[in-house]
Amino acid sequence: DQQVKQNSPSLSVQEGRISILNCDYTNSMFDYFLWYKKYPAEGPTFLISISSIKDKNEDGRFTVFLNKSAKHLSLHIVPSQPGDSAVYFCAANSNYQLIWGAGTKLIIKP
Amino acid sequence: GAGVSQTPSNKVTEKGKYVELRCDPISGHTALYWYRQSLGQGPEFLIYFQGTGAADDSGLPNDRFFAVRPEGSVSTLKIQRTERGDSAVYLCASSSSLAGGPHEQFFGPGTRLTVL
């Protein structure tokens, strides 16, 4: 039973356009959500997070939106750059455990 | 070193053998986490240390898995009687301990374990 789901295994976006990565969760007790980025042969790198009491958090080109009623969050990257090509993981915090989605591979086309 | 380091980077072993995986967290980070990542999946929580003690070991799959952090810094994940299903990338992360809320976890590059 997956508590955090990323339903798109991959996403291809033209350089300069907006990338939107989606994540759904089932547990309404999650209090914090995080996005991580992962390059091959490296560990995940923290990107941005959002508390469950907020609905938006922005950091430069990255914005995370949280819709609690729909149990859905999304990561927007604009404008997308070639260096953004990586696997993106959504994770939810539950008592200091991070529960992870399966990841979405983002490919930025030049 | 500035980041989390893990050794070895790759480990190949035979079914039934014992392995140890090491994690050096970022200096000063009191929290340390172990995760396991299988191909095509997200990391799966194994155990969380706060200082020297295991604050949550609910993710350890069975009693063949054990982890220690005797001095509150370096941690070792130990797997006895390895099975082919243990093959995965084992990730270690550390974070500073702050009051309330989750903390950004800094990950090492992982150890790829292959059990033949």
**What is residue A82's three-state secondary structure?**
helix
Measured in whole angstroms, how far is the alpha carbon of residue A60 from the centre of its chain? 15
Mean per-residue pLDDT, B98-111: 75
* Residue A44 sits at the chain B interface (C-beta within 8 Å): yes
| B10-59 pLDDT, tens digit each | 999 999 999 999 999 999 899 999 999 998 899 999 999 998 988 889 99
Give CA separation, B36 vs A31, B44, B97, B111, in Å.
Answer: 23, 5, 22, 10
**pLDDT value of residue A96:** 76
Mean per-residue pLDDT, B68-76: 94
pLDDT at B102 over 70: no
* Residue A59 sits at the chain B interface (C-beta within 8 Å): no
Closest CA to B45 of B34, B32, B56: B34
pLDDT at B110 over 50: yes
Mean per-residue pLDDT, B94-103: 65
Residue B15 and residue B86: Cα distance in Å, rounded? 9
Stretch (H or E) spanning B59: none
Closest residue of chain A to B92, computed from CA coordinates: A43
pLDDT at B64 over 80: yes
Nearest to A100 among B4, B42, B106 (CB): B42
Percentage, residues of chain B above pLDDT 70: 93
Nearest to B109 among A6, A31, A42 (CB): A42
pLDDT band at B99; cut points 50, 70, 90: very low
**What is residue A57's three-state secondary structure?**
strand
Residue of A97, A99, A104, A105 to mutate, testing the B interface (most B Cβ within 10 Å of its Cβ): A97
B92 to chain A, closest Cα gap in Å:
9
Residues of chain A with pLDDT under 50: none
pLDDT band at B98; cut points 50, 70, 90: low
**pLDDT value of residue B100:** 45
The DSSP result for B9-57, as a single string, is SEEEE-TT--EEEEEE--TT--EEEEEEE-TTS--EEEEEEETTEEEE-
